Structure 1
Amino acid sequence: HGGEWSAAEGMLKVTGGKGPKAVIDGLATGDFQLEVELRPEGENAQAGIVFRGSDFGDGIDAFRGYYVGIKAGNLVLWGANDPKWRAIAVRPVPVKASTWYHLRLRVAGNNVKLYVDDKPITDDTWPIFDGIDPALAQGGIALRAVDGAASFRNLRIAAYRPAALSKSYTNPVNGGAADPMVFRHGDKYFAYTTYTPDFPNMPRGIRLYTSPNLVDWKDEGFVLKNQDSWGDSRFWAPDLKEKDGTFYLYYAADERMCVATAKTPMGPFKQEKEQPIEPASIKIDGHIFQDDDGQRYFYYVTFGDGNEIWGGKLNDDMMSVDPSSLKLMVKPDQAWERHKWAVTEGAEMLKHKGTYYLTYSGSHFESPEYAMGYATSDSPLGPWKKFAFNPVMKSTEFAHGTAHH
């Protein structure tokens, strides 16, 4: 479909056309594994594979299906045309024009693993992409070029075979502990969590686990109980800070941010006045960051165009914010942030060599597209520039919900 295709010296080459495709006749598959060597022939040229495809025709977007490819310059990309183009993931990987690259694709169910390298790849090599997308289940396979000539050779397609696990890892954290915040005090670690066995209402409070080594954890029960706080349910996403010997626990209750205090990180935490933090626009996912000059900042989610992250200065009392300083940090304006609901939430702040890094979650937590990205700024209150290759962490076939961090 499109372009001029020629076979010589054991390779297939295409020139001309707009997004030319060579479809493998009689092949329709869902789960499979594929290897191919491909070579983009000019600057900005792409070479790649369409899979689970259908409705092939002449034209750059004349197909329905997934596409993975490499672009001469610096990109490896994965997306879907269904019926419009939807970028799923891109990565800044050096790609030289007129150079052969080895591509290995493993597709099973809604999981896609893509490996790219200029030498043979072993099973221990980490994939460029390891993600999930449920949109397309079965279809054909095609070679595809975009914005220039491309060559292909050594194409091999086989039925999918699960790879034998050569490495294993056991997560020692107890189940039922979502949105963890880990605080070190003395020789002990304290993990404050949303207690998910109480889902969906979470009416009893914030749960605490302790550990001497981040491996062996002890359930300490509810460090904050319903009766000691404003709100009746949805006790979510805690954060903890210490000032002058007092420990401040920030958490959401009934979709309003609250703060309770205790003299030790073991609690029990109680509110002096059972009330939420004002103004009412301060909803969930509070996070405290202290800058080098001692000024503390409070980041949170409000409900505007979906879930938006706002921030401002935390007052010295640790319980209120300067309302004149509140401003929008980031909102869900990119496709990867809007699956099932428009969401940017779960903010965490890092500072490195004078640059502020605001990491956050994107998309609804129940969506298979739940993921994590970040934005940078020269100021703790922005303006922010989102990383061009977000998201940086996605749900996979083995781990869902890696975003709230």
Structure 2
Amino acid sequence: MFLLCSLMLGTILSSGFMSAGAEDLANTNATFYNNAQVRAADPHVLYDKASGYYYAYSTDGASRGYRFGIYRSADLTTWEALNGAIPSDDPNTWANDWFWAPECYYNENNGYYYLFYSGRMTNTTDVESHFGSFANGIKFEEACKTGVAVSRSPEGPFMNITKAPIDYYPYDPDYYDVNQLMDAAQMLPPATQALGQTAPKGVYLPFIDANVFFDDNGDIYLYYSRNAYRNWVWDTDLGKYIEESNIYAVKLTTDWWNTDGEPVMPKIDPASRDANKPAGDTSGKRMDGFTPIINYGMQKQSWENGHVNDYVDYSGTKKNRRWAEGSTTMKFYYNQNGERKSKYYIVYSCNNFENQFYGEGYATADSPLGPWTKYEGNPIV
């Protein structure tokens, strides 16, 4: 995809929330198209007050020896490619591949820029320590988590704070892990829901596309996309399992951000730690909680169904899937009968870039963790 196809969204979303001074902007229908011909998947834009530049961080576009592209612009029209964000030889590298979706935030408290990103672990020991071991020799294919690197400059280099992802183990105790009933190819789930419900229950969630939302009341939230892998959801209308990626969130503590000292890793709110551990569990393993934000079942919209027949359409080489990924959360203020009120918005993508229905939708809520209501006119892009 080309960089910043929707600059209006990109510049608004980079700030994390909208203050009262942005009310006029929220009520305008102004748009701008810059025709930028820069390849940059998963872009995130940060406006840096110190330099006066906009910085776009992307999955691709890095020079040799770096991960994640960085592009700089003074006007959101002409973009200059810089070397890249994280040196490939960073000694604290914890992931092996699938370095995706970087997002950068400036911390005025200590002067550091924080880069959140997704990565996948392929080392068996690392995978099993984060996602457990599985029966029948089935490997956990999409062992993705979120890392954090920091720099004194928006242009990098960024270095990982520690040789580990964020200390977070989201666990779904109610999920029937139907992958453990499937053959080695892992392409075709059980034909009936009844058969799927004979599978073992409980699975650790791989996740990507981290987005950090800083509410103006001081609270901080991490939004992310649960990988479609190992998330087969029974569709009663279609009468079959669809492998879905859904958007979830967890509240973070604030001490890691509200410090003038050296950077430390973000931490989840204590209330979420082991929140999904079944009663009587004595395994000693972490089983952390999460809040569902966006999924198909909460409010079914047909545009999200671009890939639900891929297994047949592609002769068994692709899974039947739905995607809800790449979210960004923000907050707008508005006046209603002279009273100042606020509304939370989340923008997200659905389907795959290979599909004509690949696009973006949005939903609204009265609080960061919802409940969320999808816009009836989705998709908007």
SS at match of 2:303: helix
SS at match of 1:235: strand
Give the CA deviation at 1:240: 1.1
Q: Deviations over 1:256-313 (max 9, x none)?
A: 2111111121111111211112334351111111112121111001133411101121
Corresponding residue number in structure 1 for 2:218: 294
Corresponding residue number in structure 2 for 1:339: 306
Corresponding residue number in structure 1 for 2:374: 386
Paired amino acid for 2:346: L
**Please, which of 56, 67, 83 is the counterpart of residue 205 of structure 1?**
67
Corresponding residue number in structure 2 for 1:268: 157
* Inter-CA distance 312–263: structure 2 relative to 1 (3 Å threshold): same
Count of residue correspondences:
222
Matched, 1:314 2:252: yes
Residue pairs, 1:4-403, within 5 angstroms: 171-174=35-38, 176-185=39-48, 186=50, 187-195=52-60, 205-228=67-90, 229-243=93-107, 244=109, 245-254=111-120, 255-280=144-169, 281=205, 283-303=207-227, 304=231, 305=233, 306-316=244-254, 317-318=256-257, 319-322=266-269, 324-325=271-272, 326-333=290-297, 334=300, 335-340=302-307, 341-353=321-333, 354-393=342-381
Give the CA deviation at 1:242: 1.7
Give the CA deviation at 1:225: 2.6
CA contact (8 A) 2:34 2:76 kept: no
Q: Matched residues in 2 for 1:169 and 1:320: separation?
A: 39
CA contact (8 A) 1:206 1:225 kept: no
Q: Matched residues in 2 for 1:273 and 1:343: separation?
A: 30
* Inter-CA distance 323–338: structure 2 relative to 1 (3 Å threshold): farther
Q: Matched residues in 2 for 1:347 and 1:313: separation?
A: 16
CA contact (8 A) 1:203 1:232 kept: no
CA contact (8 A) 2:62 2:70 kept: no
SS at match of 1:368: coil
Structure 1: tracts of 5 or more residues without a match = 1-167, 394-405
Q: TM-score, normalised by structure 1?
A: 0.51
Paired amino acid for 1:184: Y
Structure exhibiting the larger radius of gyration computed from Cα positions: 1
Give the CA deviation at 1:197: 8.7
More helix by share: 2
Corresponding residue number in structure 2 for 1:8: none
SS at match of 1:336: helix
More strand by share: 1
* Inter-CA distance 191–197: structure 2 relative to 1 (3 Å threshold): closer
Q: Matched residues in 1 for 2:33 and 2:76: separation?
A: 15
Q: Deviations over 1:323-367 (max 9, x none)?
A: 634311111333322322211111111211211111111112322
Paired amino acid for 1:216: T
Where relative contact order (Cα < 8 A, 6+ residues apart) is larger, the structure is: 2
Identity of aligned residues (%): 33
Give the CA deviation at 1:204: 5.0
Q: Deviations over 1:375-405 (max 9, x none)?
A: 1110001011111221122xxxxxxxxxxxx
Q: Matched residues in 2 for 1:294 and 1:344: separation?
A: 27
SS at match of 1:189: strand
Q: Deviations over 1:16-61 (max 9, x none)?
A: xxxxxxxxxxxxxxxxxxxxxxxxxxxxxxxxxxxxxxxxxxxxxx
Give the CA deviation at 1:170: 5.5
Paired amino acid for 1:251: Y
* Inter-CA distance 271–169: structure 2 relative to 1 (3 Å threshold): closer
Q: Matched residues in 2 for 1:368 and 1:197: separation?
A: 28
Structure 2: tracts of 5 or more residues without a match = 1-31, 121-143, 170-204, 234-243, 258-265, 273-289, 308-320, 334-341
Corresponding residue number in structure 1 for 2:29: none
Give the CA deviation at 1:368: 1.5
